[in-house]
Structure 1
Amino acid sequence: MAAIPLRSLIGDLDPKACKVHCAVSNGINHPIDVLARSWDEWLGWNRFRGNRDDFNRQYIFSLARDRSRTTHWLFGGVFEVVGRRPIPGEGSYDIELRDDLMGPFIKRLVVAFKPTGRNVRLNMETHLDQMEVASILALPYAAEPFPGHDQINHTLGVLKNAVEQDWHDWRGALQHMKGVYVIRDEVTGKAYVGSAYGDTGIWARLREYVDSLHGGNVELRALVGEHGADYARTNLRFALLEFWSMRTADEHVLARESYWKDVLLTRKFGHNRN
């Protein structure tokens, strides 16, 4: 099937009047999460100026990189630059959304594009013919779809979005499930094994980690205290090892938790103390 060029959707928008903003992760937040959770925060990403006056044209054509597919970008709107300040930093550009320019495609149009080099603020006419329509979502993007219980492998930063934005399919899949989970530090490789049992489903336990970043664990609490919240959200990764319905006996859950601590040696080399 022939690809659909992005050029066919931009209408009267003059590419020579546009800078493409290919928003990428800043090490803490993924732009697609920002676009989904807060329009004001997304505006802030497009008002930011570095040392150079990169948004030096009339329009900003904004794109947010997908978390898992680095060549896919979610369309975040066309903004007109109505004011500029020479001092770098947040709020250096005054911008207004041009809803008349591709407004119905905001949070719905997914663009396939592989930029060359590291520059993320590009002259549109130079790259437009390499940009294709990957898909158009039926509804505006709101969250990452639930990947399946056996496919969860997400940082606490991503899971913070899931909990705070109440991603319904995630909550529906996890709130009435018991389970054993592992939290791994991507920098050190050290792991912590825990469980959700009793009246506490996996979703509620996950919320505790999102809120505290340590879930009450002594060693994780010390890690957060030493390295800070940003480190924890970026480098602590949560995955399920086993999961069952709420009818499962707590004794079984706790036995399996102990089993995984033995298998993964988390008492000796990880963050478990018992």
Structure 2
Amino acid sequence: MTRAFLRRPAGIAGLAVLLAFAVLALASPLFIGPAQLDVTQVNGPQLAPPSAGYPLGTDQAGRSILLLTIWGSRESLTIGLISTVLTVLLGTAVGLLAGHYQGRLGKALMHVTDWFIALPSLPLAISLSAVLGQGAASITVAIAVTSWTATARLVRAQTLAVEARPFIERARALGAGNRQIMLRHVLPNVMPLILVSSTLTVASAILSEATLTFLGLGDPTSVTWGSMLQTAFFGGAVTAGAWWYLMPPGIAILLVVLGFTLTGRAVEHILNPRTVQHA
């Protein structure tokens, strides 16, 4: 799989972008201190354009946009990854059960899935975040609750395909129970599809986090890419022509989403034999 991945330049480029952001996010506490982010302690020029001292300019409080963008990657990526884990776990559980139990339980689960699909995801996420209160935890839950349906339908379809294969009938004939069939025989065959879906889900989750935080549902004391866009927009960056305040978090979101998308597509080409055959 590694050799096949290395033959796909787009996938390598996407993975390189993700690794770069991951390294910056993990290493940021080593070179960014609380005083550099505290509006009461910084003394830089306000809304200053890029310069030698401030490569990406400053915000209305005099803080470095470069340092804010790097620091914001920590929570933006964390929320995206955690919400994706919750989304995949919930969607996989529902999809497996709905695909294996095709009676009343399976139909009931798919009715619930279809009901969530029919609901507009953004208003539902906004409502959940408002009910749960401001903060990263509420945004994470809201994203997971509104994003699991695609994974559930995907896993259910793959589960039905796997259980139609002869080796499942042989497993049943040898006395394998429902739990053993789902976990030992079906789930391993569904995992490649889940892996590909997860990379695309992370990209969607990061966009959702930025949207909800921009709307004021995030933690007002934390720095994320969404909160940077919100502060820039409502702080007068647009009217002041401070493009250097708006572009860095927007470009960071774009690069990370593109990185996950390119990586996910490359993995999909490798793991899906039909895609590889026609690539």
The alignment's TM-score, normalised by the length of structure 1, stands at 0.22
Larger helix proportion of the pair: 2
Larger strand proportion of the pair: 1
> Relative contact order, CA 8 A, sep 6+: which one is greater?
2
